[in-house]
Structure 1
Amino acid sequence: MKFFGYLVRLLGCFLLLFGTWNPAGYSYVAWLSQDDGYRFSFKVVVGVLLFMVYVVYLRIAWLALGALGVGISAAILLTGYMTLRHYGVFDEQAPFWTGYLMLTIASVTLAAGLSWAHFKRRVLGTSQVIYPPP
């Protein structure tokens, strides 16, 4: 997998997470909370589609990274964020940016999980095969 493939996966994760919820309020959760009445069935269909994409993305990331990999990648990103806050790059009193950064950390972790099998095959020459449960 080339770098462009990782960027496409990262963009897909950003769109999924930021489209579901973001601090600006332009998201599925904000749209769902609006009580316009006549579009409820369309909102449910979009919600089911989002749920399906989440299940697929999270399953792939969990199988590729495992609990330890997800924890380590999230810990690396969170400690980087805390280091930047410590040095004053991010304001400690600005919760608005904290929401965006947490979504970014989650997106990068999810994209790493989606790309890990491709990266592993390219570096080590081994493939990950998902076997169906017995």
Structure 2
Amino acid sequence: MGFILRWLAALGLIAATYNPTPWNYTAWVDRTWPDQMPLAVLLGLLLFVGYVIYLRATLRSIGPFGMGLVIAVFAALIWVLVDFGLIRLDNPGANTWLAIFALSLVLGIGLSWSLVRRKLSGQADVDDVDE
């Protein structure tokens, strides 16, 4: 359940920043920038803090190679699904949602990986504090 919550939070963070609907931060800022500049800056900084937390944890736990590996596995899965005719890539909105989903998986796995590694190996990370 912990991984699902971390992944859903990552999905929410990325989808709140940008998605193909008009309900996202970038579209809202584009529409309301002159009138809502202070609120837009505040919300942008809050999103930035979320990205810093997720990216820092992901880079520390799986690193750039692990991030690339997760993306490669997801890309291969999409390739297989396209090859079997289960999905099509001619819809730009669906492609955007696939990218959002893939990036949220990378961040969710990155935030959860230390916990998974500790449960699998029984070894704590060096920077773990007693719990």
> Which residue matches 2:75?
78
Q: When the two structures are aligned, how many residues end up with a matched partner?
A: 128
What is the TM-score normalised by the length of structure 2? Answer: 0.92
> Which residue matches 2:27?
30
Q: What CA distance in whole angstroms lies between the structure 2 residues aligned with 1:87 and 1:37?
A: 48
2:17 to 12, 20, 25: 20
Runs of 4+ in structure 1 over 4 Å off: none
Shift of 1:46: 0.6
After superposition, the C-alpha distances for 1:42-73 in whole angstroms (9 at most, x for unaligned) are 11011011111101110100110012111111
> Which residue matches 2:65?
68
Shift of 1:91: 1.6
* Identity within the alignment, %: 29
Query: Is 1:99 matched up with 2:102?
Result: no
State the Cα RMSD in Å: 1.4
> Unmatched 5+ residue regions in structure 2?
none
Residues 83-92 or 60-69, more deviating: 83-92
Shift of 1:130: 3.8
Shift of 1:95: 1.6
What is the TM-score normalised by the length of structure 1? Answer: 0.90
> Unmatched 5+ residue regions in structure 1?
none
